[in-house]
């Protein structure tokens, strides 16, 4: 199964992101029910390994922490791929990510060495958007550069199974791991 670990967002945060997203001039918006902050993308894995990872994550120990979403940005500036809400620099989040990497490694799964760039994806773009669309997208991002949402407490993270469908992925929560 195709799995990933993510932080769920409180309803109020989802509602505000959804409002911001509704003004998006171009692109394929992510369904608000699917908003999340990915901690680790595990990819396609055998059930046995997912079970092993689950046990390893149950043993992970980390404290709850505050998280603040702020600003919009794009991955892929000339050829935009993803529009996302950013995260204010957060040591506790980086530390949780590191612990998760360790737990996955202990279960025999080595994540790619890509730098962790926490974000909440709001929309995706097909290749080859027009110059005009790119201009409209850039001014939309510029207008939302400085937004900031109220911080919220992260008190758990979740394991999701993602199933790809023609009109987008369906994410199903398999387990949650409390931070205490």
d(Cα 28, Cα 20) in Å, to the nearest integer?
A: 14
Q: Is 119 a catalytic residue?
A: yes
Q: Which residue, 161, 155, 151, 52, is CA-closest to 107?
A: 52
Active site (annotated) includes residue 46: no
Please state, in angstroms and as integers, the Cα–Cα distance from residue 161 to each residue in 54, 97, 152, following that order: 12, 19, 25
Of 55, 105, 119, 156, catalytic = 119
For ligand 2AM, the closer of residues 16 and 38 by Cβ is 38
**For residues 59 and 80, what is the distance between their CA atoms, to the nearest angstrom?**
39
Q: Among residues 36, 55, 105, 117, which one is catalytic?
A: 36
Closest by CA position to 67, among listed 148, 170, 147, 163: 148
Answer for which of 26, 50, 121, 177 binds ligand 2AM (CB under 6 A) is 121
Closer to ligand 2AM by Cβ: residue 105 or 132: 105
Residue indicated by tokens 């097909």 = 126
- Residue 14 phi/psi, 5-degree rounding, is -60, -45
Q: How many residues bind ligand 2AM (CB under 6 A)?
A: 7
Out of 10, 14, 18, 38, the residue judged to bind ligand 2AM by CB under 6 A? 38
Residue selected from 1, 10, 41, 151 as contacting ligand 2AM according to rule CB under 6 A: 41
Is 21 a binding residue for ligand 2AM by CB under 6 A? The answer is: no
Does 162 bind ligand 2AM (CB under 6 A)? Our answer is yes
Work out whether 125 is an interface residue with ligand 2AM (CB under 6 A).
no
Within the chain, residue ranges assigned H as helices are 11-22, 47-58, 91-106, 131-143
Binding interface with ligand 2AM (CB under 6 A): 4, 38, 41, 119, 121, 162, 169
- Residues noted as catalytic: 36, 119
């Amino acid at each position: 199964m195709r799995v990933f670990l993510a932080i769920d967002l409180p309803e109020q945060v989802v509602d505000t992101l959804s409002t911001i997203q509704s003004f998006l001039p171009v692109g394929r918006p992510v369904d608000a029910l699917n908003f999340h902050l990915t901690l680790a993308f595990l990819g396609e894995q055998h059930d046995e390994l997912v079970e092993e990872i689950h046990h390893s994550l149950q043993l992970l120990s980390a404290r709850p922490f505050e998280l603040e979403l702020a600003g919009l940005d794009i991955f892929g500036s000339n050829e935009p791929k993803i529009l996302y809400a950013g995260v204010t620099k957060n040591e506790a989040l980086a530390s949780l990510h590191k612990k998760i990497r360790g737990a996955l490694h202990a279960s025999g799964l080595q994540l790619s060495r890509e730098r962790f760039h926490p974000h909440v994806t709001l929309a995706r773009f097909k290749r080859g958007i027009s110059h005009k669309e790119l201009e409209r997208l850039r001014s939309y991002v510029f207008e939302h550069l400085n937004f900031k949402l109220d911080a919220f407490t992260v008190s758990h993270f979740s394991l999701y199974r993602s199933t790809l469908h023609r009109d987008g992925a369906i994410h199903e929560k398999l387990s949650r791991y409390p931070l205490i």
